[in-house]
């Protein structure tokens, strides 16, 4: 394992990565909601969008077209409406929908540079939206950045098929603390009456959390308000973040 590089332009108190066993389970959404929640409480927050092949973070915050500033020392993250700092491959490419067809080592190198060459400034929290899955890129990122903890995002189906175990095993292998697990799309809220429906049957979250000795950090329903806000680039306006207990856990890490 090579030594973790330092970033001289940055003072980050805590760095957490958000991982999932596979794509499309809402990893970027969870990253965004945590950032929004902690920013609302007055913390300085950044997001390093390491999901290079499908970077959706700038879109959720409505900053896809923002211009990256740089000087001779560093390049600087863009700032959202509420002053969350974001760096993403999406911001460096000319076209938002241009596919990034790169080999693993180059992706891993780019992510490392997002840490070493970006002037993040002083942050309480830096969240890393990891590429989905548990391949080489993810492993390299874990070795290249000084990560304090991992948050695992899962879907009801992942819990049944135990895809979530892949993410769990990777964290264990890297010897990085697992903060806990979030189940996304766990139930549905009716947009008309607000009633909750367990469309996937009884959640397996408690069983799996007990089996793997993981803390449950939250359950997020399928909420059409969230889909709309993601599409409009207005995730900072979300009324319900559903992640209060996760935010409390992360606050304790910084405040104590």
- Residue ranges for the known binding site for ATP are 21-28
Kindly state whether residue 85 participates in binding ligand ADP, applying the rule CB under 6 A.
no
Q: Are 159 and 80 in contact (CB under 8 A)?
A: no
Asked whether position 17 contacts ligand ADP by CB under 6 A, the answer is no
Q: Kindly state whether residue 220 participates in binding ligand ADP, applying the rule CB under 6 A.
A: yes
Looking at beta carbons only, is 167 or 250 nearer to ligand ADP?
Answer: 167
Residue 75 found at the interface with ligand ADP (CB under 6 A): no
Neighbours of 15 (CB within 10 A): 18
Structure tokens at 82: 């509420």
Distance between CA atoms of residues 256 and 239, nearest Å: 28
> What's the closest the beta carbon of residue 121 comes to ligand ADP, in angstroms?
25
**Per-residue interface string for the shown chain with ligand ADP, residues 45-64, x marking contact by CB under 6 A:** -----------x--------
What size, in residues, is the chain? 256
In the numeric block, which tokens belong to residue 232? 């409009």
27 binds ligand ADP (CB under 6 A): yes
Question: From CA 125, how far away is CA 45, in angstroms rounded?
Answer: 5
Nearest approach in angstroms of CB 96 to ligand ADP is 14
Q: Which residues contact 76 (CB under 8 A, 6 or more apart)?
A: 68, 69, 70, 118, 119
Torsion (CA) 236, 62, 254, 216 in degrees, nearest 10: 70
Residue count, binding to ligand ADP (CB under 6 A): 18
140 is an interface residue for ligand ADP by CB under 6 A:
no
Residues 6+ apart with CB under 8 A from 137: 104, 107, 108, 111, 131
The reply to whether 23 sits near ligand ADP by the rule CB under 6 A is yes
198-217 positions binding ligand ADP, by CB under 6 A: none
Q: Which is nearer to ligand ADP, 25 or 159 (CB)?
A: 25
**Interacting residues toward ligand ADP by CB under 6 A:** 20, 23-29, 56, 132, 184-185, 220, 222-223, 226-227, 230
């Amino acid at each position: 394992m090579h030594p973790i590089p330092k970033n001289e332009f940055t003072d980050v108190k805590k760095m957490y990565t958000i991982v999932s066993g596979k794509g499309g389970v809402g990893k970027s959404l969870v990253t965004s909601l945590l950032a929004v929640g902690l920013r609302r409480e007055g913390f300085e927050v950044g997001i390093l969008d390491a999901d290079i092949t499908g970077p959706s973070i700038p879109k959720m915050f409505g900053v896809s077209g923002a211009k990256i500033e740089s000087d001779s020392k560093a390049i600087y993250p863009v700032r959202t409406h509420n002053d969350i700092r974001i760096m993403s491959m999406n911001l460096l490419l000319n076209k938002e929908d241009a596919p990034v067809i790169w080999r693993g080592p180059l992706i891993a190198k780019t992510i490392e540079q997002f840490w070493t060459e970006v002037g993040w400034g002083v942050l309480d929290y830096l969240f890393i939206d990891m590429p989905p899955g548990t391949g080489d890129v993810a492993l390299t990122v874990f070795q290249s950045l000084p990560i304090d903890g991992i948050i695992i995002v899962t879907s009801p189906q992942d819990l049944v098929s135990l895809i979530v175990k892949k993410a769990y095993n990777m964290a264990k292998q890297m010897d990085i603390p697992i903060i806990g697990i979030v189940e996304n799309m766990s139930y549905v809220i009716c947009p008309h009456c607000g009633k909750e429906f367990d469309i996937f049957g009884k959640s397996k979250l408690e069983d799996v959390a007990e089996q793997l000795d993981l803390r449950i950090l939250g359950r997020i329903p399928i909420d059409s308000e969230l889909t709309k806000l993601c599409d409009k680039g207005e995730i900072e306006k979300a009324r319900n973040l559903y992640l209060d207990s996760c935010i409390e856990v992360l606050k304790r890490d910084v405040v104590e």
